[in-house]
Structure 1
Amino acid sequence: MGELMQCGCEVTRNWAPPSPLAIGPGADGSAWEWGGCGDDVDYGYEKSRQFMDAKRKKGKSDIRTLIDLHNNEAGRLAVKNYMRTECKCHGLSGSCTLRTCWKKMPHFREVGDRLLERFNGAFKVMGGNDGKTIIPVGHNIKPPDKQDLIYSADSPDFCQANRKTGSPGTRGRVCNSTALDVGGCDLLCCGRGYQEETVVVEESCLCRFHWCCVVNCNKCTERKELSVCL
């Protein structure tokens, strides 16, 4: 947006030529050059590193610090390593004799989807004896790379009630018997199954606004079919 004096367009003099696939269809035979105003991802990377890693000083040996520093870096790389190339055509009568190309950050949704995939496949680790390395545990054999997400403590079991963690469990929870996501009965009921119940609920209906400023409603009853976890 041009509001930070230190953050301008990305420097392109050391960039390699973009691939024809990145430039787009019809790129073969047309000249190109880096131009426009690409996102200065290096500036953003460095500022993010200074801001996010400030609380977790490098050199500390506790496992929580090592995990936070690793995951912070994985988040930054999910943006930096997936910069996309955008190009604009120049030429007479709509021809594309020259293309100007620049780098843009990946779309926010794309970054989120990529991190969610890493989250679902996160590595469980423990601290090494030297206090500076992390070692995979459990079924993982290969060490996580810089783009993987890691953790050291298992999440509490939400299926059973646990007063210590504050989890009420899922027994008696209303679920969606046709959904396959976390709200579906198969997952939410944790394999215990569910039962169908018919309930009568009272809801506000036929509401009218009266000037000024009151809303009057009637009370209506409705029968609903609910799926409830066993």
Structure 2
Amino acid sequence: MVLDLVFFSALLCWLPVVGAPSAGMWWAMGVSYSPASTEQILCAKVPGLVAKQARYCRKHLELMPSVAEGAQKGIQECQWQFQGRRWNCTTIGGDPSVFGKVIEKASRESAFVNAILSAGVVHAVTRACASGEPLSCSCDKRRKPPPDDEWKWGGCSEDVKFGVRFSRNFLDPRENRRKARSTMNRRNNEAGRQAILKNMETKCKCHGLSGSCEVKTCWKQQPDFRTVGYLIKEKYDSATEMEITFRREDRGTVEDLEPKNSHFKVPTFSDLVYYEPSPNYCEYDLDSGSFGTYGRRCNASSDGIDGCDLMCCGRGYNTMSEETVERCECQFIWCCKVKCKSCQRIYDVHTCK
């Protein structure tokens, strides 16, 4: 079961949904995000939300634009991390799932999408709280004593625990805890949150005359979201393959997930999990959601996944020259401007056959 959450865009451009879609995603609102006022958001009219989510939306109405921003962050980071891969996190305009059929499979790619979007919500909500604008949250007041006398707590430590709790309460209730796909989704949601929670940074600032450090105040801050993306990408590369097991309860059968290979370590809540193989993404396949790699740019000098041999799946590649105009021979002129020439450059561009 996919995360069956259809949400609204921040501009109230309602998604083109017919009936009750089975592949709608709450993160669809992040595709065309722009800052929205809370007056625009009508939680009761958001299709696909369960009652608990709708109540949570109403309770934290002022934070819903941050949820949209977090979705946009996650989508953009997904596309950055996979820009040189056969699957490049392509979004599909007008599709309520944003990513199309590719995330209907319980694959590594679906695992990454869930994790990066969950992390995006944590990051955006936590940062909004630290800005002081929302009334329902603020800075983190829970501070342990500093480790020494050289510094003291100050500034505004970002309350990441609130952001993590918000993400859990808003994203997870839709999942059916008796189904394997829902278990996978929840675990990968949590892995995205842990990527931020376990990597909070201590930032410090010195105070004193002439730049001296008579007093040093420090605070906790989330890592840059690009760093979060790299962390989750590492989890994608080492994701654990699972298999479905069945357990009988009084209310019926429950689907659980267990590691497929008992020789590997049991995944923690910081790890990504999946249980279905990925398409090879080489060929266009409507059923699997693969767009293929025909016409994709590749790096002829690379032996990695972005190289033409792997990207083009052995089909070969075409090479053509591309001319661009760039600034060159720039000089600093006192005072105070930079003067540059315009130079024509010719590059070889390689695309998959």
TM-score, normalized by the shorter chain, greater than 0.5: yes
**Larger strand percent:** 1
What is the distance in 2 between the residues matched to 1:73 and 1:166? 26
- Is 1:80 equivalent to 2:197 in the alignment? yes
What is the distance in 1 between the residues matched to 2:348 and 2:222? 47
Kept after mapping to 2: 8 A contact 1:34/1:100? yes
Deviates more, 1:63-72 or 1:33-42: 33-42
Q: CA deviation at 1:9?
A: 1.2
- Candidates 146, 158, 161, aligned match of 1:17: 146
**Superposition RMSD in Å:** 3.2
Residue correspondence of structure 1 range 64-79 to structure 2 within 5 A: 64-79=181-196
What is the distance in 2 between the residues matched to 1:157 and 1:38? 44
- Candidates 155, 170, 173, aligned match of 1:54: 173
What is the distance in 2 between the residues matched to 1:174 and 1:97? 54
* Alpha carbons of structure 1 residues 225 and 97: separation in structure 2 relative to 1, 3 Å: closer
Kept after mapping to 1: 8 A contact 2:179/2:256? no
The structure with more radius of gyration: 1
CA displacement, residues 66-92 of structure 1 (integer Å, 9 cap, x when unaligned): 001001111111111111001122334
CA displacement, residues 80-106 of structure 1 (integer Å, 9 cap, x when unaligned): 111100112233443223211110111
- Give the TM-score normalised by structure 1: 0.70
What is the distance in 2 between the residues matched to 1:66 and 1:155? 19
What is the distance in 1 between the residues matched to 2:320 and 2:211? 65
- Is 1:194 equivalent to 2:316 in the alignment? yes
- Give the TM-score normalised by structure 2: 0.48
The equivalent residue for 1:148 is: 271
CA displacement, residues 95-126 of structure 1 (integer Å, 9 cap, x when unaligned): 22321111011111110110111112111112
Residue correspondence of structure 1 range 62-141 to structure 2 within 5 A: 62-130=179-247, 131=254, 133-138=256-261, 141=264
* Alpha carbons of structure 1 residues 195 and 105: separation in structure 2 relative to 1, 3 Å: closer
- What amino acid does structure 1 have at the position aligned with 2:163? G
- Is 1:36 equivalent to 2:155 in the alignment? yes
Aligned residue pairs total: 194
Kept after mapping to 1: 8 A contact 2:308/2:317? no
What is the distance in 1 between the residues matched to 2:187 and 2:164? 14
The equivalent residue for 1:178 is: 301
* Alpha carbons of structure 1 residues 35 and 168: separation in structure 2 relative to 1, 3 Å: closer
Q: CA deviation at 1:166?
A: 5.4
The equivalent residue for 1:214 is: none
Q: Secondary structure at the match of 1:128?
A: strand
* Alpha carbons of structure 1 residues 40 and 225: separation in structure 2 relative to 1, 3 Å: closer
Q: Secondary structure at the match of 2:188?
A: helix
* Alpha carbons of structure 1 residues 133 and 33: separation in structure 2 relative to 1, 3 Å: farther
What is the distance in 2 between the residues matched to 1:36 and 1:174? 46
Q: CA deviation at 1:53?
A: 0.8
What is the distance in 1 between the residues matched to 2:295 and 2:138? 56
What is the distance in 1 between the residues matched to 2:246 and 2:204? 50
**% of aligned pairs identical?**
38
Kept after mapping to 2: 8 A contact 1:9/1:38? yes
What is the distance in 2 between the residues matched to 1:172 and 1:109? 28
What is the distance in 2 between the residues matched to 1:143 and 1:176? 37
Q: CA deviation at 1:134?
A: 2.3
The equivalent residue for 2:5 is: none
Q: List gaps (5 residues or longer) in structure 1.
A: 21-29, 202-223
* Alpha carbons of structure 1 residues 183 and 142: separation in structure 2 relative to 1, 3 Å: closer
What is the distance in 1 between the residues matched to 2:246 and 2:164? 31
The equivalent residue for 2:57 is: none
Q: List gaps (5 residues or longer) in structure 2.
A: 1-130, 248-253, 323-346
